[in-house]
């Protein structure tokens, strides 16, 4: 079929009528589909059920150094849990602190420490009235919510196939000491699925910021979430350490989409100087996180040695869902000029970019037909997509049959929104 942009007005009106009739049929079905967030499905959660019995009344609760996991102590996490986080990030256990179940919580606390006490002996961020943060877009909405909460001015950094626009990043951070950080999801970036290139990682590791307390928030959320072959992410610390720049990096990892999102473990990988600062704050904040849950994970994953096989099982469940969405997008939208979409090799999302001015209408049409999606504008600070074009598709949670229906409805909404826009 020729692109909609080449249709005559009469052809567009006829197409609109046909699409509206198909849309009404979907509305009659009273659907309740949810594609709003990147949540594991029940089948994925079931993969870790045996973990719940790995720790019981017969389990030896005494671990290294004679520590009883049921009691106080080991504020920065047991060795087995550190080894899991280190394995995921291709790091070493001595560079890890283990927290609770949420890496988002760890990131929030890390920004909060910068706000309250500052980093490296520098001025606390709350005293920097014009404090700024760099935000690669499209990006993860919850990242932006954190820096919005703490009153940062957020600066959009365009993403390309290599990662963020590094020319722009290097220029900004080298000139402006009020820029205190940047959000990064370097592997299977949320939502575009981009893996930062080796050159991009090298350039991050070699940044020369004007602010001595500038920090790279390296949220490696999808470190082991390959759908097909493993795609290696370059080691940012490996490039930073020889240049003495390791203190500007915080790497975050969690098992939220590996074991149980509500009951996993999360960790931070950082330089020794940064780890010491974090431990000092933790000593005032907590007497330690859930070591029984840490032990449960350590036993189930054999200190990280079973992670690879476990993640292959995840991939087998969600790969057909991604492929179903991609197949439907190809079949229904090819040649119509309605937008573009990514075909990621891992992670949890597919990004659809509509023609300018159509994303909110697509989301609205989907909702009115019974499908909940992430709100339009969510992948941008303050939910402000300047082109009104980026849509995040989350295929993991629904079952395969629901994914088929959802994909058909989505493509119908894209076509209808595109035709409506052209008629205006």
Q: What CATH number should be reported for the domain holding residue 278? A: 3.40.640.10
80 and 104 in a single domain? The answer is yes
27 and 118 in a single domain? The answer is no
120 and 28 in a single domain? The answer is no
155 and 183 in a single domain? The answer is yes
300 and 336 in a single domain? The answer is no
33 and 125 in a single domain? The answer is no
Domain membership flag for residue 256: yes
50 within 8 A of 300, measured Cβ to Cβ: yes
Q: Where are the beta strands (DSSP E) in 76-203?
A: 96-98, 132-137, 153-160, 163-164, 179-184
Q: For the chain, what is the largest distance between any 2 Cα atoms, rounded to a whole number of angstroms?
A: 80
Find the angle CA(103)-CA(105)-CA(109) to the nearest 5 degrees.
Answer: 115
DSSP code for 134: E
Q: Which domain holds residue 137?
A: 61-305
pLDDT in tens, the chain (424 residues): 799 999 999 999 999 999 999 999 999 999 999 998 899 999 999 999 999 999 999 999 998 888 999 999 899 999 999 999 999 999 999 999 999 999 999 999 999 999 999 999 999 999 999 999 999 999 999 999 999 999 999 999 999 999 999 999 999 999 999 999 999 999 999 999 999 999 999 999 999 999 999 999 999 999 999 999 999 999 999 999 999 999 999 999 999 999 999 899 999 999 999 999 999 999 999 999 999 999 999 999 999 999 999 999 999 999 999 999 999 999 999 999 999 999 999 999 999 999 999 999 999 999 999 999 999 999 999 999 999 999 999 999 999 999 999 999 999 999 999 999 999 8
pTM score, whole prediction: 0.96
The CATH code of the domain that includes 326 is 3.90.1150.10
79 and 211 in a single domain? The answer is yes
Domain count, the chain: 2
Which tokens is 84 given?
């899991």
325 within 8 A of 113, measured Cβ to Cβ: no
83 and 124 in a single domain? The answer is yes
300 and 386 in a single domain? The answer is no
Domain membership flag for residue 49: no
Cα separation of 27 and 365, whole Å?
10
Task: Tell which residue, 315, 311, 250, 263, has the closest CA to residue 119.
Answer: 250
Domain membership flag for residue 381: yes
- In the three-class reduction of DSSP (H, G, I as helix; E, B as strand; rest coil), residue 41 is classed as coil
161 and 99 in a single domain? The answer is yes
């Amino acid at each position: 079929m020729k692109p909609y942009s080449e249709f005559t007005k009469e052809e567009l009106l006829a197409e609109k009528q046909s699409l509206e009739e198909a849309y009404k049929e979907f509305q009659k079905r009273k659907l309740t589909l949810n594609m709003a967030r990147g949540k594991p499905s029940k089948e994925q959660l079931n993969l870790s059920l045996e973990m719940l019995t790995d720790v019981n009344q017969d389990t030896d609760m005494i671990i290294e150094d004679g520590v009883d996991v049921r009691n106080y102590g080991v504020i920065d996490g047991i060795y087995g849990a550190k080894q899991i986080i280190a394995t995921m990030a291709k790091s070493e256990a001595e560079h890890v602190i283990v927290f609770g179940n949420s890496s988002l919580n760890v990131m929030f606390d890390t920004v909060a420490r910068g706000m309250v006490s500052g980093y490296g002996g520098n001025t606390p961020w709350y005293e920097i009235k014009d404090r700024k943060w760099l935000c690669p877009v499209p990006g993860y909405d919850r990242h932006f919510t954190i820096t919005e909460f703490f009153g940062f001015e957020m600066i959009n950094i365009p993403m390309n196939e290599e990662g963020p626009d590094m020319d722009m990043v290097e220029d900004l951070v080298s000139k402006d000491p009020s820029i205190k950080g940047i959000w990064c999801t370097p592997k299977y970036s949320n939502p575009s699925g981009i893996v930062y290139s080796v050159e991009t990682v090298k350039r991050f590791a070699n940044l020369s910021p004007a602010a001595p307390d500038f920090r790279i928030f390296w949220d490696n959320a999808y470190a082991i979430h390959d759908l097909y072959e493993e795609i290696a992410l370059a080691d940012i610390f490996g490039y930073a350490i020889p240049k003495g720049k390791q203190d500007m990096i915080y790497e975050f990892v969690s098992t939220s989409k590996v074991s149980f999102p509500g009951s996993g473990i999360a960790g931070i990988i950082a330089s020794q100087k940064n780890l010491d600062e974090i431990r000092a704050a933790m000593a005032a904040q907590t007497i330690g996180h859930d070591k029984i849950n840490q032990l449960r994970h350590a036993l189930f994953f054999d200190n990280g040695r079973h992670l690879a096989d476990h993640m292959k099982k995840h991939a087998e469940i969600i790969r057909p869902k991604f492929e179903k969405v991609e197949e439907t997008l190809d079949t229904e939208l090819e040649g119509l000029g309605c937008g573009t979409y990514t075909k990621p090799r891992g992670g949890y999302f597919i990004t659809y970019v509509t023609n300018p001015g159509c994303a909110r209408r697509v989301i609205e049409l989907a909702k009115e037909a019974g499908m909940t999606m992430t709100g339009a504008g969510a992948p941008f600070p303050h939910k402000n997509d300047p082109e009104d074009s980026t849509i995040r598709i989350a295929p993991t949670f629904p079952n395969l049959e629901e994914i088929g229906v959802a994909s058909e409805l989505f493509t119908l909404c894209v076509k209808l929104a595109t035709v409506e826009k052209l008629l205006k």
